[in-house]
Every structure is written in structure tokens, then in C-alpha cells.
Amino acid sequence: LITNDKFKSVDHRVLAGRVGPRISAACFFTPSIATTCGPIKELQSDINPPIYRETHTTKYLACYMAKGLDGTSALPHFKL
């Protein structure tokens, strides 16, 4: 949503080596509930218009939680 699909996430998968333990690192982004989320203006142009609509964090989180953990993205709900 924020990068307007300029940077895409990969599917999470683990390739563990034969030697040593597997290590996982998590990264979380938690904006204020009052924040409006949408494509970053600096990444938009005439040839790269916004493909997602702006939404409040509360609406994004509600959609994400209602969707459940089925391995699919919540982003299609916010496409223009």
C-alpha cells in the first residue's frame, strides 16, 4: 500500500542450512490509529499513478483482522 507496488514483498519461506540453528527476525510497523495510510506521494508520477486508495489505519487493521491468517494479502481490498 505504502510503496504503491514499487517494492513487493516475497512469500515467507525458510531455507535452513545444515549447520547451526535457524534464526528468524521480525519487523513490525505500527502507525498511530489516527494515521491515514496510502501510497507515498514521492513514489507517484504521471507514469506511476496511485493504485491504492488512502485509508485510515483503523480501517486497514479491521480489514486485515476480518480477512484472517489465510496466507493472502489484504491489499486487493484497497485497490482503486
Would you give per-residue pLDDT tens digits along the chain (80 residues)?
888 888 777 666 667 777 877 777 777 777 788 889 899 999 899 999 999 999 998 898 888 888 888 878 888 899 99
In a domain, 62, yes or no: yes
63 is in which domain, residue-wise?
Answer: 36-78
Is there a domain that residue 7 lies in?
A: no
Quote the CA–CA distance of 38 and 69 in Å, as a whole number.
22
Pull the grid cell for residue 2: 505504502
Residue 45 in domain: yes
For residue 59, tell me if it sits in a domain: yes
Q: Per the structure, how many domains does the chain have? A: 1
- Asked if residue 75 lies in contact with residue 39, where contact means CB atoms within 8 angstroms, the answer is no
The amino acid occupying position 23 is I
* 72 within some domain: yes
Does 58 fall in a domain?
A: yes
